[in-house]
Amino acid sequence: MIFSYYKGLWQQASPLARATIPWDILRGITHGAVNVLPATLALYIAIEYFDATTLQKSAIAGANFMGLLFSLPYAAWSPVIQHKPLRCAIPMLLSAIALVFAAFATSSMMYTIAIVIFGICWNLPIPTLTSIYRDNYTDLIRGRIFGVTLVFGMMAAIIAQILGGGLLEFTLDRFRHMLVFASLLVLTGAFAILRMPSSSTTDERPGNPLRAIALVREHHEFRYVLIAWFLFGAANLGLMPQRIEYITRPEYGLALGPAAVFLIVGVTVDAFRLLAVQVWAYLFDHFEFIKLRIVMTGFLLAWVLVYFNAESVPQLVAGAALQGCAFGGGSIAWTLWVTKFSPPGQTAQFMAVHTFATGLRGAVAPLFAYWAVDAIGLEATAWVAAALMAISMLMLWHLLHKRRTQSRR
């Protein structure tokens, strides 16, 4: 059945898409394996090996979001390079070099600077890569093809976490070998992107990054969805650290150990994300995006209500499963949703605005969440987050209703 699905997808693909897919899968595998570094392993090394300061740990944890913020000026200025794959490959090369410096770091400061540079450069190509997807994959199959890439990437991420964690468990000093190997994976991913076919980009010119921000003012629906996304995205990102606090701290009544935390927050979420991604990919290609985004946000809202009111492990697992299902759709929607709104020649600019907004909320939302927990408690903070998600769903429903009213006229 799975083979038939992939075979049918391949048959629907254009010659341009078929020339892209194998290289995109290779890129996805390397991306999935390396992407666990800034989120987990790099921070673990900073804490356990370098005894990093709070400021250094915060910088490492926020490096990805810094990269998303800087992706806006990079998307504006990088068209000076008239080859989209090369635009993606250059910051990836810098990422690989930064990882080598991190591998040979002799102090926490040197290690932190290298990892932060890696995290920033690692996220710069995202808007341009989305533009390549817009060029090479048709609307009918774009979501499903990207879903295939995600499946390979998620499997690589799971394997990388198991191997990386086992390697560090054996001896922490082996992190140097791990980072050098990761730099080779980054270079492999850059090579894969360079092998992707790319259309001419003569219609693009370097410009002022603020011109991309002007798109928010000029395109009403894009602005409206971006605001709704900011609301539920900030609520979700703010609660991400709190989901661990809730199940580990004794004052919340659960106080689970590391094995249970890994099972709930890691394995359960990733497993359901993997199971759900192809379903969401199919729906992305065949259904109206606004409807789909409402349903995805509904899964996130259900996660908050179930997880942060759970009093037992089965309830926590149920909540984590809902979050994993939402993340499966979110992975598709986050990367590709601008292709539903942007003119073909402006996809990278639209995506840069979206990544900038993600970086902004990713930088501030956890801080506000911790402040709210101190002020009103975790349970009330979770209810506030749930309310923000509900408001964003109502905003999207209003936009959908407005579309239908206009279409009847």
Do 264 and 173 share a domain, yes or no? no
User: Angle CA(275)–CA(277)–CA(278) in degrees, nearest 5?
Assistant: 95
- Which structure tokens are listed for 254? 């659960």
Question: How far is the C-alpha of 40 from the C-alpha of 61, rounded, in Å?
Answer: 9
Is position 13 within any domain? no
Do 153 and 230 share a domain, yes or no? no
The DSSP 8-state label assigned to residue 219 in this structure reads: -
Do 112 and 217 share a domain, yes or no? no
In order of 110, 137, 143, 226, 230, the CA distances from 130 in angstroms are: 32, 10, 11, 17, 20
- How many angstroms separate the most distant Cα atoms in the chain? 69
Is position 12 within any domain? no
Where among 166, 197, 228 does a domain terminate? Answer: 197
Is position 222 within any domain? yes
**Closest to 65 (Cα-Cα) out of 116, 109, 3:** 116
What pLDDT score was predicted for residue 203?
53
Do 190 and 234 share a domain, yes or no? no
Is position 402 within any domain? yes
- Which structure tokens are listed for 368? 């506000």
Q: Give pTM, 2 decimals.
A: 0.85
Q: What residues make up the domain containing 402?
A: 207-409
Q: Is the dihedral of CA 38, 39, 45, 48 positive or negative?
A: positive
What pLDDT score was predicted for residue 294?
96
Do 258 and 335 share a domain, yes or no? yes
pLDDT by residue, tens only, the chain of 409 residues: 567 777 788 888 889 999 999 999 999 999 988 987 766 678 778 877 888 887 788 788 788 888 999 998 998 888 888 889 999 999 999 999 999 999 999 999 999 999 999 999 999 999 999 999 999 998 888 999 999 899 999 888 888 877 776 776 667 778 898 899 999 999 999 999 999 998 654 456 666 667 777 778 888 889 999 999 999 999 999 898 888 888 888 888 888 876 677 778 877 888 899 899 989 999 999 889 999 999 999 999 999 999 999 989 999 999 999 999 999 999 899 999 998 888 877 888 889 899 999 999 988 888 888 889 889 999 999 999 999 999 999 999 999 888 777 766 6
Do 115 and 45 share a domain, yes or no? yes
Do 190 and 224 share a domain, yes or no? no
Helix 269-286 and helix 289-307, axial crossing angle in degrees, nearest 10:
160
In order of 107, 306, 383, the CA distances from 301 in angstroms are: 42, 9, 10
Question: How far is the C-alpha of 187 from the C-alpha of 318, rounded, in Å?
Answer: 39
Is position 278 within any domain? yes
What is residue 207's three-state secondary structure? coil
The DSSP 8-state label assigned to residue 172 in this structure reads: G
Question: How far is the C-alpha of 244 from the C-alpha of 307, rounded, in Å?
Answer: 11
Is position 397 within any domain? yes
Do 177 and 73 share a domain, yes or no? yes
Q: What is the CATH number of the domain that holds 379?
A: 1.20.1250.20
What is residue 287's three-state secondary structure? coil
Q: How many helices (H) and strands (E) does the chain have?
A: 19, 0
CA torsion, points 126, 108, 167, 173, in degrees to nearest 10? 140
Count: domains in the chain: 2
- Which structure tokens are listed for 194? 């360079």
Is position 4 within any domain? no
Contact 188, 30 (CB under 8 A): yes
N-to-C CA span, the chain: 44
Do 193 and 220 share a domain, yes or no? no
What pLDDT score was predicted for residue 249?
82
Where among 139, 168, 197 does a domain terminate? Answer: 197
Question: How far is the C-alpha of 270 from the C-alpha of 108, rounded, in Å?
Answer: 31
Do 40 and 180 share a domain, yes or no? yes
CA torsion, points 316, 320, 323, 329, in degrees to nearest 10? -150
Main-chain dihedrals φ then ψ at residue 251, nearest 5 degrees:
-65, -15
Do 223 and 323 share a domain, yes or no? yes
Where among 197, 217, 234 does a domain terminate? Answer: 197
Do 326 and 295 share a domain, yes or no? yes
